[in-house]
Amino acid sequence: MTAELRDTELRRRIIAEAAERTARSGWSSVTMSALADRVGVSRQTVYNEVGSKPALARAMVLHELVHFLAVVDDAFDAHPTDAVAAIRQAVQGILETAQEDPLVRAILSGADADLLPLLTSRSGDLLEMAQIATLQRLVPLTPSLEPSRRAAAVDMVVRTVLSHVTQPSGSPVQVARDVSWAAGRMLSR
């Protein structure tokens, strides 16, 4: 099993420490030796758990995604029969969370060019995980919708939200209103 696929408590501690250090001091301050010291293991153990530094960066971003997906779950739980309202709440919540999230802010600051592509040009894993999670919540609310149409709506929402996370162009409330309106049109066909 590769380090990227393993999910252990030690791995989670290493990733959390890397995220905290990145948010506090930048990605360049994250070294396997520093992580090993903070977590209380050898440098080789850090490599065994997370692989290379680029693999650690990817794991760190995907680990952060879990917090954002919880926002999506909360929105769908709050609106169990209204897909558009759930999407509106999820989009607004994600955008508000992103504005306050220390790791996202550190990545978007541009100071660490190695990390920004994980939210932009190399965001495939992040997009896929977000789309899968959103589709799982949306299927029960749109049972008669053709699966390809549902997938297209989710793709539009997820990509648009990620775009607004990386380059906001309006308030979270306004963007959520607009995205949910567009999603509602797509889901009603």
How many angstroms separate the CA atoms of 92 and 49, rounded? Answer: 35
For residue 2, is it within any domain?
no
Query: Residue 147 is part of which domain span?
Result: 9-187
Per-residue pLDDT, 56: 95
Q: Which residues of 61-80 are buried (b: 16+ CB within 10 A; e: fewer)?
A: bebbbeebbebbeebbeebe
How many domains does one find in the chain?
1
For residue 174, is it within any domain?
yes
For residue 110, is it within any domain?
yes
For residue 1, is it within any domain?
no
Q: Which residues of 41-50 are buried (b: 16+ CB within 10 A; e: fewer)?
A: beeebbbebb
Give per-residue pLDDT as tens, 136-149.
Answer: 999 999 999 999 99
Give the H/E segment covering residue 175.
Answer: helix 172-187
pTM (two decimals): 0.88
For residue 151, is it within any domain?
yes
For residue 64, is it within any domain?
yes
Residue 69: which CATH number?
1.10.357.10
For residue 3, is it within any domain?
no
Residue 6: band (very low, low, confident or very high) from pLDDT cuts 50, 70, 90: low
Over residues 152-174, the mean pLDDT reads 96
